[in-house]
């Protein structure tokens, strides 16, 4: 059977004292290191989250500015297209006007030359008529 004598109590007291000493020497410092490490990792985690949010915000701003730049570029492109169309229209109208003026001038010159040819031929109509009549009749008139 078990004997309960003073040595048992001494061993229990020794175990409690040893536990208290080990707690002060080893367990508390190790627990403090674990606590500091956890706090450090929590701080790093919050820094990472803060930097991630900052990077996401910067990316959103960049994308927004890029979209605005694209819209502005498209607007300017359309504006330049309209200006180019207006300039093209002006150039074509000027070219058409010049071509029409040249056409009218040429037609006027042709009409004038035709009139001159008619007048020249009109003065020779009688001569040609006599010549044709002589050829048809075979004798002189």
Q: pLDDT digits over 17-72, tens only?
A: 999 999 999 999 999 999 999 999 999 999 999 999 999 999 999 999 999 999 99
Reported as a pLDDT band with limits 50, 70 and 90, residue 3 is: low
Q: Decide if 141 contacts 130 (C-beta within 8 A).
A: yes
Identify which has the larger pLDDT, 137 or 55.
55
Please report the pLDDT score of residue 139 as a whole number: 75
Residue with tokens 């180019």: 84
Please report the pLDDT score of residue 131 as a whole number: 82
HSE-up (13 A, CA, CB side) for residue 33: 6
Please report the pLDDT score of residue 1 as a whole number: 58
User: What is the reported pTM?
Assistant: 0.47
Q: pLDDT digits over 75-130, tens only?
A: 999 999 999 999 999 999 999 999 999 999 999 999 999 998 888 888 888 887 88
Please report the pLDDT score of residue 45 as a whole number: 96
Please report the pLDDT score of residue 23 as a whole number: 94
Tokens coding 24? 């002060």
Please report the pLDDT score of residue 53 as a whole number: 97
């Amino acid at each position: 059977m078990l004997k309960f004598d003073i040595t048992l109590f001494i061993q229990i007291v020794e175990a409690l004292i040893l536990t208290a000493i080990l707690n002060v020497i080893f367990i508390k410092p190790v627990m403090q290191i674990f606590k500091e490490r956890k706090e450090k990792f929590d701080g790093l985690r919050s820094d990472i989250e803060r930097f991630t949010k900052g990077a996401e915000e910067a990316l959103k701003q960049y994308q927004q500015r890029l979209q605005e730049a694209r819209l502005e570029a498209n607007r300017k492109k359309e504006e330049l297209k309209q200006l180019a169309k207006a300039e093209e229209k002006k150039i074509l109208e000027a070219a058409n006007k010049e071509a029409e003026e040249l056409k009218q001038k040429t037609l006027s010159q042709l009409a004038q030359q035709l009139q001159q040819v008619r007048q020249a031929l009109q003065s020779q109509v009688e001569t040609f008529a006599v010549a044709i009549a002589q050829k048809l009749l075979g004798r002189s008139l």
